Amino acid sequence: MLHQVFMIEVFSGTATLCAVSKEFGMQSSLALDKVKKKGARATVCVFNLLNPADRDLLYNWIESPLLAWVHFAPVCGTCSRARQIPNGGPPPLRSDDFPMGLPHLKGSERSRVEEANRLYVETCKLFKHCALRGILLTMENPTNSIFWLTDPVVQLFKQFDISVADCQLFMLGGERPKWSRFAANFSAIVEMTISCDGSHTHKPWGKTRDPQGTWIFATAEEAQYPRKMCVALVTCVVRQLQRQNIGTLPDTLADMRNLEEFHTQSARISAKIQPKTRKVPPLMPDHSHVATFYTFGSQQFSCPLLSKLSSPCTVYTAEAQRAEVPKHSKFLRRTLCATPPSAIGGTGGRR
């Protein structure tokens, strides 16, 4: 049976995560943000978490039994470590000793920090409410953001069993070696842990020009989620839902041949009539087969997650037999796990 579950992306920015979630079968997913960003990948509902009416509406949506996942990405502007760099940018507003705001702040700076603090409080309240309802939750901010040291977040980590993954986004479609932290109420989030293998050239930090030619700080460019990162995160969540016997749409129509959608899509393809949007899965999978192997860490692979190998790679089966994955094979996913007893030791990387 297909479950038309959906997700909500709070603080969605360009809503790339919401758009990818729709592609994976969560077609009624919602993207919420205070403003509509230019170039958004999905429809963004204008929403202010500090507005009581908007907040009540969100809590009503959370009551839906079809809500499977909520993602939070609170704005970290006041918590950014980049403010501590003397490069002509904005001054620091927080520190490790004063994560809720420096004591000397006045005027607009103090107001901005206090508003951000209220936003963090409401975000953590939402997280708690959803967690108690059994909804999957993810929350993202830069790994070194002072956000993780603020009082409501620290209290959240004390109250719930939260797992964390630190991910270097250059390996998932980013242009700079930015570290992002994903906190979740399910342990499978550790599959998102990945670091740069050092074989790539990154764009520099500091000031750069946007497409319109305006000078901006590079951190602003890296605030938007790369599509490849969104695919990896959604894949991780979908696998967790499957472990809980909650299914989204199948990966391909070949997996649902007895349903009307298969015959409808087949007829449209035969008639050379392509759908405008991906409302159903593709007719056939884009790979011949998938195999699972073990390695001594993801650094063995010569490519980032969801990319193709540039050279053959030696791996191990669950029975400790050596095998070779051929060049151009796609690195689909990874899972940190204990090596099977039959293997020769080390940590495993699922492929």
DSSP state of 203: P
Q: 87-93: long-range contacts (C-beta < 8 A, 24 or more apart)?
A: 87/206, 87/207, 89/217
pLDDT tens, N- to C-terminus, the chain (351 residues): 345 789 999 999 999 999 999 988 898 999 999 999 888 999 999 999 999 999 999 999 999 999 999 999 999 889 999 888 887 778 999 999 999 999 999 999 999 999 999 999 999 999 999 999 999 999 999 999 999 999 999 999 999 999 999 988 877 776 667 889 999 999 999 989 887 666 656 555 455 555 556 644 445 554 589 998 999 999 999 889 888 888 665 544 444 444 454 445 455 555 555 554 444 445 445 566 778 888 776 555 556 656 677 788 888 888 878 888 888 787 766 665 655 545 454 444 333
- Tell me, what's the pLDDT at 331? 72
Intervals of CATH 3.40.50.150 along the chain: 6-243
- Tell me, what's the pLDDT at 11? 96
- Tell me, what's the pLDDT at 288? 64
Distance CA 341, CA 310 (A): 31
- Tell me, what's the pLDDT at 252? 45
- Tell me, what's the pLDDT at 63? 94
- 104 phi and psi angles, rounded to 5 deg: -90, 0
- Tell me, what's the pLDDT at 291? 81
**Rounded alpha-carbon distances, angstroms, from residue 292 to 21, 238, 243, 312, 335:** 24, 18, 17, 15, 10
Q: 238-257 burial, b if ≥16 CB within 10 A, otherwise e?
A: bebbeeeeeebbbeebeebe
**Among the listed residues 6, 1, 3, 14, the one whose alpha carbon sits nearest the alpha carbon of residue 220:** 14
Strand, coil or helix: 70: strand
- Tell me, what's the pLDDT at 223? 55
Q: How far is CA 208 from the centre of its chain?
A: 25
Share of the chain above pLDDT 70, in %: 69
Cα angle value 46/182/89 (rounded, 5°):
70
- Tell me, what's the pLDDT at 342? 57
* Architecture in CATH for domain 6-243: 3-Layer(aba) Sandwich (3.40)
Instruction: Classify burial at 40, counting beta carbons within 10 Å of its beta carbon; exposed 0-12, middle 13-18, buried 19 or more.
Output: middle
Query: Both ends of the chain: CA-CA distance in Å?
Result: 28
CB of 120 closer than 8 Å to CB of 74? yes
Amino acid at residue number 128: K
**Tens of pLDDT, residues 219-276:** 555 458 999 899 999 999 988 988 888 866 554 444 444 445 444 545 555 555 555 4
CB of 313 closer than 8 Å to CB of 324? yes
Amino acid at residue number 291: A
- Strand intervals (E) in 47-205: 67-72, 136-142, 163-168, 179-184
Strand, coil or helix: 212: coil
Partners of 8 in the beta sheet? 30, 70
Partners of 160 in the beta sheet? none
**Packing angle, helices 16-23 and 227-243, rounded to 10:** 50
- 350 phi and psi angles, rounded to 5 deg: -80, 140
- Estimate the share of the chain in helix, then strand, then coil, as percent rounded to the nearest 5: 30, 15, 50
Task: Report the chain's C-alpha Rg in angstroms.
Answer: 22
**Rounded alpha-carbon distances, angstroms, from residue 6 to 56, 139, 338:** 19, 17, 32
Distance CA 160, CA 183 (A): 11
Q: Which pair of tokens denotes residue 108?
A: 């607009």
- Tokens 């490849």 identify what position? 228
- Tell me, what's the pLDDT at 273? 55
- Tell me, what's the pLDDT at 242? 85
**Rounded alpha-carbon distances, angstroms, from residue 280 to 26, 265, 273:** 11, 8, 14
CB of 83 closer than 8 Å to CB of 91? yes
